[in-house]
Amino acid sequence: MPTLLIYGSYGFVGGLIAEEAIDRGLDPILAGRDRERLRQQVDELGQRGRRFSLEDPVTVATALEDVDCVLNCAGPFSNTAEPLVEGCLRSGTDYVDITGEIPVIESIHDRDEEATEAGITLLPAAALSTIPMDCLAAHLADRLPEATHLALGVDSFRVPSIGTLRTVIEGADTENAVRRDGDLESAPTGWKTREIDFGRGERPAVTMPMGDISTAHYTTGIPNVEMYAVMPQPARTALRLHRYLSPVFESKPVRWTLKQLAGVRDGPSERARERGSAYVWGEARTEDGERVVSRLRTPDPYVVTVDGAVTVAERVLAGDADAGFQTPAGAFDADFAFELEGVEGFFDESTPDETSPVNPLLQ
């Protein structure tokens, strides 16, 4: 049986992913740097454990020699992805993670040639929003092959987990980003607001530096990409203020304090996750104004992340993904989103026909 190792398995999201992998019979090795937290999880779940740090690439490669695929759940991924990818390249191990950090995705893309030569798959961003968003982007590109501009967005306000908060704090000085003519360009945080109908009426959404700016471009080849997310008014105000307050957040003492405060937060309860949902929207257009719009509806973001990460790992372990850098839809096509339980769509904003379902969200 192929071997899966889950790094960062004892974090909030990592723990949910580990339990799901066990339920599916994958028998994962639980791994991370924290000896006590790992020992406690190993005892609770009755799984094998493997403690190793990421400072020495030889140590990482040695720890992965008998592993077929690493699923990295340890954020911030700006700290963990590079050494794990390096270890995977040295040991011939496939790599999957749940990052949403643009620089991380770009750095993994830069190792495409090495991964192809090593015969391994590098597939970052196996989470929400990227899996549904990436599949929606591929669907829109199929509907409008001549598209030159792609806008994507998500409507789901969710209290973040400890790991998510720490990832946000770690990247607090990162500017917004857009894709223009194939290149990444910086933009002020929250630089644009747009009224978008995600399927339950128009709501204000702001541009966000989400990883889909990279993955959607690599999946579709569309050169211009923007990302939006619905934010409540206080959050939109905070984003606008951030550009002026960023020097404060860059201070090491302030970051340390915020990380400690983040440590008292836990993720949403099981009941909250069962009741949650997300609405994903996409628009592709051409230079001459031709335009298509489609939507997806998904379960709670944490539910999609857990299901998506384990499903991607299963597909990679089965050899379904080519070697080299891959995106979810690039590896498995636009319909991959529907392998995840509870994902509904595509709801196309067009005249319905036998192949295009009427969108119940628009009725």
What confidence score (pLDDT) does residue 157 get? Answer: 57
What confidence score (pLDDT) does residue 222 get? Answer: 98
The pTM of this model reads 0.87
Q: Is the preceding peptide bond at 346 cis, omega within 30 degrees of 0?
A: yes
Tokens 């899996």, residue located: 131
Tokens 């569309």, residue located: 222
Domain boundaries along the sequence of the chain: 4-125+304-332, 131-299+342-347
Given the candidates 3.20.20.70, 3.30.360.10, 3.10.20.30, 3.40.50.10320, the CATH classification of the domain at 131-299+342-347 is: 3.30.360.10
Judged by DSSP in three states, 186 sits in strand
Judged by DSSP in three states, 150 sits in strand
Give the DSSP H/E element, type plus range, for residue 220: helix 212-220
What confidence score (pLDDT) does residue 273 get? Answer: 83
Q: 135 and 328 in contact (C-beta within 8 Å)?
A: yes
Give the list of residues 6+ apart from residue 122 with CB closer than 8 angstroms, or none. Answer: 85, 88, 94, 95, 108, 111, 112, 115, 324, 325, 326
Judged by DSSP in three states, 263 sits in coil
Q: Is the preceding peptide bond at 76 cis, omega within 30 degrees of 0?
A: yes
Exposed, middle or buried by CB within 10 Å (0-12, 13-18, 19+), for 233? exposed
Judge whether 4-125+304-332 and 131-299+342-347 match in fold.
no
Q: Specify whether the backbone of 92 is left (phi greater than 0), alpha (psi in -120 to 50) or beta.
A: left
Q: 357 and 347 in contact (C-beta within 8 Å)?
A: yes
Exposed, middle or buried by CB within 10 Å (0-12, 13-18, 19+), for 339? middle
DSSP type of residue 219: H
Q: Residue 205: which of 281, 277, 128 has the closest Cα?
A: 281
Cα 176 from Cα 41, distance rounded (Å): 37
Cα 147 from Cα 222, distance rounded (Å): 7
Instruction: Split the chain (363 residues) into runs of 10 and give each run's mean pLDDT.
Output: 97 97 98 97 98 96 98 95 98 97 96 98 94 98 98 76 43 64 84 90 89 96 95 57 50 48 58 86 97 96 96 98 98 97 90 39 35
For the record, the structure tokens of 160 come out as 């973040």
Q: 225 and 218 in contact (C-beta within 8 Å)?
A: no
What confidence score (pLDDT) does residue 186 get? Answer: 86
What confidence score (pLDDT) does residue 140 get? Answer: 98
What confidence score (pLDDT) does residue 236 get? Answer: 53
Length of the chain: 363
The beta strands (E) that lie in the chain are given as 4-7, 29-32, 49-51, 69-72, 94-97, 121-123, 149-155, 176-180, 183-187, 193-197, 202-207, 224-230, 277-285, 291-299, 324-325, 344-348
CATH superfamily label, 4-125+304-332: NAD(P)-binding Rossmann-like Domain (3.40.50.720)
For the record, the structure tokens of 315 come out as 């597909």
